[in-house]
Amino acid sequence: MASTSASKPVVIPQDFNSQLYTPLKEADPEIADLISKETWRQFSGLELIASENLTSYAVNEANGSILTNKYSEGLPGARYYGGNEYIDQLERLAQRRALTAFHLDDKTWGVNVQPYSGSTANFATFTALIQPQDRIMGLGLPDGGHLTHGAYTPKRKISASSIYFQSLPYQVDVKTGLVDYDLLEKNANLFKPRILICGGSAYPRDWDYARLRKIADSQGAYLMMDMAHISGLVAAQVQNNPFEYCDVVCTTTHKTLRGPRAGLIFFRKDKESDMETRINNAVFPACQGGPHNNTIAGIAVALKQAAEPEFKKYAVAVIDNSRAIADALVKKGYKLQTDGTDNHLNLWDLRPLGLTGSKVEKVCDLASITLNKNAVVGDTSAATPGGVRVGTAAVTSRSMGTNEMVIIAEFLHRAVQISLKLQKEAGKKLVDFIRAATEGNGEAKQELEQLHKDVQAFATQWPLPGILDTSAIKRPDILANGVNGASH
């Protein structure tokens, strides 16, 4: 009778399968080298992109696990393949943890944990709730909305949500930068949407869900929240609660929630009797294939962490840090859209300085500060956005606090002043600006080199989530290139 124990290790084959047991560093040095370089980049720089965060060691372990091998199309207890007894347990655990993390009653709310991303979660929701060419309204992309909320330009429908559905964006007030709920209500009365979408990707204030619910009800529309950016803050109960008013709530899992890259769809089970079936069928088989079980495991780990008291402290710190950066920049005379923030991001309007977001993003990148150019209210060209978006989720995950945010704000100030000098030296064209920053020999380039050194000296004092021993992180041996020899 064969033993069921694994007391003696099985011999590793030396045939055509031997490569399956070779560590990455030996099997593929090129990929191992790129991972090493990216690890150094994250460790030695400041990650201020508002849609990024740093996952935990445990999340990385789950996400890189053997669970990636299993195919499990369908739902727990109703799979198209056998061998899913543990995968079923995993997915049910992730569902329970999702409801717990967001303080939801399983009699009222259900959740699908299979979406590959926030974009697929949103499109699956549209697929479940409405028919092609039905009408949707979401915050306009130049006003801080998201591509998947029906974005389009005069010449191009740039998202599947605007290709397959009719979209009318709503806007923020040009003076305050706040959502213009009165104009939204007026336009909803004319457009009569089937889904009213709230949530954004560059909106620094909280949402008036009660007002949105009233507007949706006046049109017989579903109210959908895409809380991708603020889901961690919602779980920690430091933002208004969309679940009190919305029919469906979608999210990514990798931003303030600090999990792997994926999505979730929460839905009210008491809204319509077939809501759960429609959502589940829209995810699979309508919009995607089998779930990524390794990612679902990472989501479950992140949701467990999000339900712990330490996560509430983290979320509070994220907002405190965001406001600390805002205060420091305002004190220096800079303009922020809405004059501040309620969440993890600030939208910095560079137009009063005569700069574009593209130029400041490039200078920051060369200085090991990562942020992104972003449209601000009143921009006339998407090709030359007038601002940058500054987020604090990732630096807060490195245990930086408000004192460090003042230092980071000073780095940002220096980057902007260097950008002004480079523009004066090189002129308005971006290509000439970049050449002056990377190949020139003027005063601005020298200041940029010093800023890069100062940023790296500061950033490497702090831990990097997922890495237990930062002494093992090695600076890439790269030939001098550009401003500092780093691969930016």
Q: Which residues neighbour 275 within 8 Å (Cβ) at sequence distance 6 or greater?
A: 110, 128, 267, 268, 269
Distance CA 129, CA 38 (A): 40
For residue 139, give the nearest of 220, 224, 250 by alpha carbon.
Answer: 224
Name the token pair of 170.
């709503």
The answer to whether residues 308 and 287 touch, using CB atoms and an 8 Å cutoff, is no
Percent of the chain with pLDDT over 90: 92
Q: Is 252 a known active-site residue? A: yes
Q: Each residue of 41-90: pLDDT tens digit? A: 999 999 999 999 999 999 999 999 999 999 999 999 999 999 999 999 99
Asked whether the predicted pLDDT for residue 484 surpasses 80, the reply is no
| Average pLDDT of the segment spanning 431-457 | 95
Mean pLDDT is lowest, of 83-97, 232-246, 471-485, for 471-485
Asked whether the predicted pLDDT for residue 200 surpasses 60, the reply is yes
Asked whether the predicted pLDDT for residue 382 surpasses 70, the reply is no
Q: Is 181 a known active-site residue? A: no
Type of residue at 153: T
Distance CA 422, CA 14 (A): 59
Enumerate the β-bridge partners of residue 179: 172
The one catalytic residue in 28, 37, 61, 73 is: 73
> According to the model, what pLDDT value does residue 460 have?
97
Name the token pair of 201.
């990707």
> Domain coordinates of the chain in residue numbers?
66-306, 310-472
DSSP 3-state of 436: helix
Give the confidence band of 186 by pLDDT, cuts at 50, 70, 90.
Answer: very high
Q: Is 73 a known active-site residue? A: yes
Q: Which residue has the tokens 């109703």?
A: 78
Asked whether the predicted pLDDT for residue 263 surpasses 70, the reply is yes
Q: Which residues neighbour 57 within 8 Å (Cβ) at sequence distance 6 or greater?
A: 465, 466, 467, 468
> According to the model, what pLDDT value does residue 6 have?
61
Enumerate the β-bridge partners of residue 79: 74
Q: Each residue of 100-119: pLDDT tens digit? A: 999 999 999 999 999 999 99
The one catalytic residue in 91, 226, 349, 404 is: 226
Q: Is 22 a known active-site residue? A: no
DSSP 3-state of 334: coil
The one catalytic residue in 252, 256, 295, 392 is: 252
The average confidence (pLDDT) of the chain is 95
DSSP 3-state of 222: strand
Enumerate the β-bridge partners of residue 167: 136
Q: Is 277 a known active-site residue? A: no
Phi and psi dihedrals of 462, rounded to 5?
-115, 150
Measured CA to CA in angstroms, residue 93 lies from 63, 86, 98, 301 at distances of 16, 10, 9, 10
CATH architecture observed for domain 66-306:
3-Layer(aba) Sandwich (3.40)
Asked whether the predicted pLDDT for residue 195 surpasses 60, the reply is yes
CATH architecture observed for domain 310-472:
Alpha-Beta Complex (3.90)
DSSP single-letter state for residue 142: G
Asked whether the predicted pLDDT for residue 459 surpasses 60, the reply is yes
Name the token pair of 414.
């220096």
The one catalytic residue in 135, 205, 213, 255 is: 255
Q: Each residue of 5-46: pLDDT tens digit? A: 567 899 999 999 999 999 999 999 999 999 999 999 999 999
**3-state DSSP of 373-416:** EECCCCCCCCCCCCEEEEECHHHHHCCCCHHHHHHHHHHHHHHH
DSSP 3-state of 346: strand
The one catalytic residue in 71, 88, 425, 447 is: 71
220 burial class (0-12, 13-18, 19+ CB within 10 angstroms)? exposed
Q: Which residues neighbour 366 within 8 Å (Cβ) at sequence distance 6 or greater?
A: 437, 438, 448, 452, 482, 483, 484, 488
Asked whether the predicted pLDDT for residue 485 surpasses 60, the reply is no
b or e along 228-244 (b: 16 or more beta carbons within 10 Å of the residue's beta carbon)? bbbbbbbbbebbbebbe
Give the confidence band of 4 by pLDDT, cuts at 50, 70, 90.
Answer: low
Phi and psi dihedrals of 204, rounded to 5?
-85, 10
| Average pLDDT of the segment spanning 254-281 | 97
Asked whether the predicted pLDDT for residue 411 surpasses 50, the reply is yes
Q: Which secondary-structure segment (H or E) carries 335?
A: strand 335-336
> According to the model, what pLDDT value does residue 483 have?
43
Q: Is 261 a known active-site residue? A: yes
Alpha-helix residue ranges (DSSP H) falling in 115-265: 118-129, 160-163, 181-191, 209-218, 231-235
Percent of the chain with pLDDT over 70: 96
